[in-house]
Structure 1
Amino acid sequence: MDETDRYIRALLQQQGISIDENQSELFRAFVNTEANINSVKNIRLLQQNMTKDWKIIARRAEINALQLAFPNGIAGKPYQTKFDFKQYGLEDITSYGLSGFENTGLAYDANSKTISGTPKTSGDIAMLFSYNFEGEDENSPLNEKKVTIIINPDPKSLWKDIPSDTNDIYAKADNVAETASLLDFTLLAASKRGRSHANKGSFRDDDYAYAELQNGWGIVAISDGAGSAKFSRKGSLLACNAVVDYFTTHFSLENVALLDEAITIYQTDTSIRAKLLDIAGAHLSAAAKKAYATINDFALDANASVSDFHATLAFVLVKKFANGYAFLSFSVGDCPMALVNKSFEWVKPLNKLDVGEYGGGTRFITMEDIFTKENFEERFNFEFTTDLPYLVLMTDGIYDPKFEVEANLAKTEKWKLFFEDLEGNNSEGINALSKDADNQSNLSDWMDFWSPGNHDDRTLIVLS
């Protein structure tokens, strides 16, 4: 039974017509006529063409319905993505073009099937995907499909940078950065107004101060003014300056002789640590109380409440001895301080963050009751290292995005990542620790790093 016979027999059966045995010869003669053979061939060809046409139409509709979802970009940020035909099920594409990148900052490389560049502006980039696929005739016109890449604005660009009022009674610089020598050390410090303040033209509440003292000692202080206190920007300034003033005035050769002697003995007899802290504690406590008294007196003169000047306070005294380095510290509030080995073999947090029993419940140097609490002396600390580590002080504007939780402050791997970030392993490629002439500018630029939800003032001090 040949193809013509099968086709006509099936056709007649569809019409309910059967072929009797006594009609076999007659049917065979009917099938073998040239006209019927040609008719069946033509019908089969028409069926094949109709099937082909439908497959092309259906495939074209399928491709046009595909969601070619390229990743969103950010204006001003490098962008790169692959046009992966396999991912989108387009392995049957035989020729194509991708256009529409004029004046966008992006370009398409057909060899690597890569879209790359730096988008100039936010908005939608409307591209045209022109293509042919398997099954279409060689000279078929190109099919066209619109494709879009969404370019979002840089989140930073949505924030305003309104200068604070320089004529305000408690005005201060919005941003400061500096590199200085402190004793035999290099001090790198910066304090930057947070975006939440810059966006409405309010003030930087953070502050810091440092000084060289007598007998080889140095002092570094940092403070974070409470955002809820209307004059906290002044409170942080007063707190830092009061501490520096106290030690500049009272840390004389005569007054520190006993402390220096205790530290010298400690280097060979660590059992005197408790006695050493008793001696040091008298100085640390007096400096902290000086900070409170200074702010309190200022508030009284200004006819304001001391709580209007709420600010945290943390400070470290440092001195080089014959066999190493001594560090004495005090803190109230949530400004982390730590000694970090330069090979990242160890880290020694100098304080326990004082955040209260609930989030946002930190303590301030302006709260007089801290001096009468049983745990007041737990705010003192002493460390001695044979090699000079990094001494780092920061406000929560740095701590929150970079360390997230207090437990991470004791992890060397977290500090290693932090210093790698400082040295340029960041999205902007900014080396805040570079020793070139732009060092201060680099540090200030690094302080502007983007972290969603973290827009508080940022202050960082690194002593090395």
Structure 2
Amino acid sequence: MEKSDLLNSLCLEIQNIESDLTVMQDQMNSMTSKLGGIKKVFTLIKEEDERMAKEITKDSKKVIQLKNGKANMPYKEIVDLEAFGIPKDALIDFNGIPQLSWNKDDTCFEGDLILPGDYKGTLIYQENLNSREFTRDVHILINADPRTLWVDKDPPLEGPYYKTNKDYLSKIFNNRRLLGASVRGKSHAQRGTFRDDDFSIQTWDNGWILQVVSDGAGSAIYSREGSRMACQSVVDNISTDENREKIQRIEDLIVSLNSPIESNIQRENDGIDLNRRSEICSDQSMVVENTLAKDSIDQSIISEFVADQYDIVEGALVEGDTDQTEVIKDTLTEDYISQNKIAVDLPEETIVDTEEIKRKKLSTLIHELTVQAAFSSLKKIETFAKENNKTTIKNFSSTLLFTLSKEFDFGTAVISFSIGDGAIGVVTEKEGKLLMKPDGGEYSGQTYFITSKELFQNKDIYDRSKFWLFKDRVKSLMLMTDGISDPKFGTEKNLEDSNYWMKLWGELEPVIKQDPLNKEDVFEWLEFYEVGEYDDRTLVILY
């Protein structure tokens, strides 16, 4: 088969699969929307039915049935006595239900309900002290607190890739605290399965801070190990001498761009557009094209990229046809270069570093640092899966969010990178801000994982790198898995709403700013109860 025919055939197959996936996604979105609407209607009807006291017949006797209560929740229901034939100004006495009392001033039943069950009390009334007494039976159903119905089963000690149900790390660095905490979700506790989330924190003497979180996919059998490897790989990769030197170059550029002479980078709490890689930059009459020659690109990245692409078509090659093999590899290499045109560090004697050139250098370095770190996680998981005969890397699917940050006298620099859902956000003196674009849908469902190899075969991978410089004092920089972001924000639109971030910080601040900090209080906050939200919860926060 000719190379062109092979590529055309593969291209057509890819288009067909993508088309099918688009149709399936549209159908899923439609079904999710319909389900949400049905649930809302059901809830409204149910609440309307339960909201007001009503007269029903029990055991051939008419009784006043109050709206249902919930154990461990305060209860109050205003009752229109006249609707039950009781004079408005009647003298009332109520007994028989210790958890409930009658408030004559507000004409309501109220109390702190504790024990679930079906209770019956007696309402005694008379028009005045000298008149005859009448009685009415009052019934109330107190539902059990759903939180008490959950069980907490430990996962098997002998299970592969054992992970504790909780994890915690707290340290002081440069007069700020770094806190990482993770708890197993109720759904895992109910089934006796492992916590799938993980996190890492790393600091260096030069002031840079690395925060990482990863959420193992619930559908992937070994995702708990995938999330651990993803976090550790990022730490290991960025900690290499090569990348430490790259971080220093990034810092030098940030400082240079924020000198009194070159200060255009200091836009109010803004981010630099890192995705203008193929623009032309000019300095007076000098023009520099951001195109890399083949020998200028990191050959290790090219070879890994080509190897991954080559695996896709390898099965279609004629065995032993080395010429065809090399042709395809060369084509893939050229394709990689053409897709990844980024700013390049030219020799200093060639051009004078203008602000625009410095910004492009900064963009290039940040892209290289973040994408390579993420790619190292993929390769580590891939190698581990092969060496341990785990069939496929999909068994280790996990999200990956990380930030690199440093506080300068002119502001706080934050580099962020994300694959998957969850959230990265910052709270300053003035606002809260989302620092990533989640991969999830409007409400729930689909997302990408670090094991989604196709992400690294597309130049859009660079769009996942973000750079921000905050002039206002940063109160907190937080990364969280969707076990927190989903119940606290609900939708992607809310993630972009400053008020939601400020509210979340308002909840967290009194818990994590205690002196001394109490680990159990942090865990208690992470285990907040929200109906329908039972996933693992992980938070890494700098404050």
Per the shorter chain, which TM-score range?
A: 0.7 to 0.9
Q: Distance in 2 between matches of 1:194 and 1:356?
A: 21
Between structure 1 and structure 2, the one with the greater Rg is 1
User: Deviation at 1:405?
Assistant: 0.9
For residues 297-337 of structure 1, what are the alpha-carbon distances to aligned partners after superposition, in whole Å with 9 as ceiling and x for unaligned?
11112111211000010100011223121111111111211
Task: State the match for 1:370 in structure 2.
Answer: 455
Following TM superposition, by how much is the alpha carbon of 1:214 offset from its aligned partner in structure 2, in angstroms?
Answer: 4.5
Q: Comparing 347-356 with 392-401, which one deviates more in the overlay? A: 347-356
Ranges in structure 1 where 5+ consecutive residues have no aligned partner? 1-60, 424-430
8 Å contact from structure 1 (residues 176, 190) kept in 2 = yes
2:401 to 282, 290, 314: 314
Instruction: Look up the match of 1:76.
Output: 72
After TM superposition, the structure 1 = structure 2 runs for residues 264-283 of structure 1, keeping only pairs within 5 Å, are 264-267=255-258, 268-270=263-265, 271=356, 272-283=358-369
Q: In structure 1, what residue type is equivalent to 2:112?
A: T
Q: How far apart, CA to CA, are the structure 1 residues paired with 2:179 and 2:100?
A: 39
Q: Give the direction of change, closer, same or farther, for the CA distance of 1:401–1:254 in structure 2 (3 Å limit).
A: closer
Structure 1 residues 290 and 153: CA distance shift in structure 2, 3 A:
same
1:449 to 505, 523, 528: 528
**Is it true that 1:119 corresponds to 2:104 in the alignment?**
no
- Asked if structure 1 preserves the Cα contact closer than 8 Å seen for 2:115 and 2:144, the reply is yes
Cα distance in 2 for partners of 1:393, 1:165 equals 29
C-alpha distance in structure 2 between counterparts of 1:339 and 1:368, whole Å = 29
Residue-pair matches, total: 388
For structure 2, the 5+ residue unaligned runs are: 1-56, 266-355
Counterpart in the other structure of 1:49? none
State which of 143, 162, 178 in structure 2 corresponds to 1:152: 143
> TM-score by structure 2 length?
0.66
Query: Is residue 187–residue 462 contact of structure 1 (8 Å, CA) maintained in 2?
Result: yes
Distance 2:408 2:243 in 1: 17
Equivalent residue of 1:216, what SS?
coil
1:286 equivalenced with 2:365 (yes/no): no
Checking the alignment, whether the CA contact within 8 Å between 1:129 and 1:147 is kept in structure 2 is yes
Separation in structure 2 between the aligned mates of residue 357 and residue 406 of structure 1, nearest angstrom: 6
Mean CA deviation greater in 194-203 or 175-184: 175-184
Cα drift, residue 439 of structure 1 = 2.8
Paired residues for 1:186-225 under 5 Å: 186-225=177-216
SS of the residue corresponding to residue 186 of structure 1 reads: strand
User: Residues 182 and 536 of structure 2 are in contact (CA less than 8 Å); yes or no, is this contact kept in structure 1?
Assistant: yes
Q: Classify 1:296/1:456 alpha carbon distance in 2 versus 1 (closer, same or farther; 3 Å).
A: same
Helix, strand or coil for the counterpart of 1:371?
Answer: helix
2:97 counterpart of 1:101: yes
Structure possessing the higher relative contact order (Cα contacts under 8 Å, 6 or more residues apart): 2
**Aligned equivalent of 1:17:** none
Superposed CA deviations along residues 375-405 of structure 1, whole A, max 9, x for unmatched, are 1110111001122242111111111111111
Aligned position for 1:325: 412
Q: Are the counterparts in 1 of residues 426 and 474 from structure 2 also a CA contact under 8 Å?
A: no
Give the Å deviation of 1:356: 6.9
Alpha-carbon displacement from aligned partner over 1:175-211 (angstroms, at most 9, x marks no partner): 2234322444212322111111111101111111011
Q: Find 1:382's aligned residue among 467, 471, 483.
A: 467
306-315 or 257-266: bigger deviation:
257-266
* TM-score, length of structure 1 as denominator length: 0.77
Which residue identity does 1:118 align to in structure 2?
D
| 1:183 and 1:218 in contact (8 A); partners too | no
Query: Which shows bigger deviation, 195-204 or 445-454?
Result: 445-454
Q: Residue 239 of structure 2 aligns to a residue in which SS?
A: helix
For 1:112 and 1:195, the matched residues in 2 are separated by 39
Q: What displacement does 1:120 show?
A: 2.6
2:209 paired with 1:227: no
Indicate the residue corresponding to 1:351 in structure 2.
436
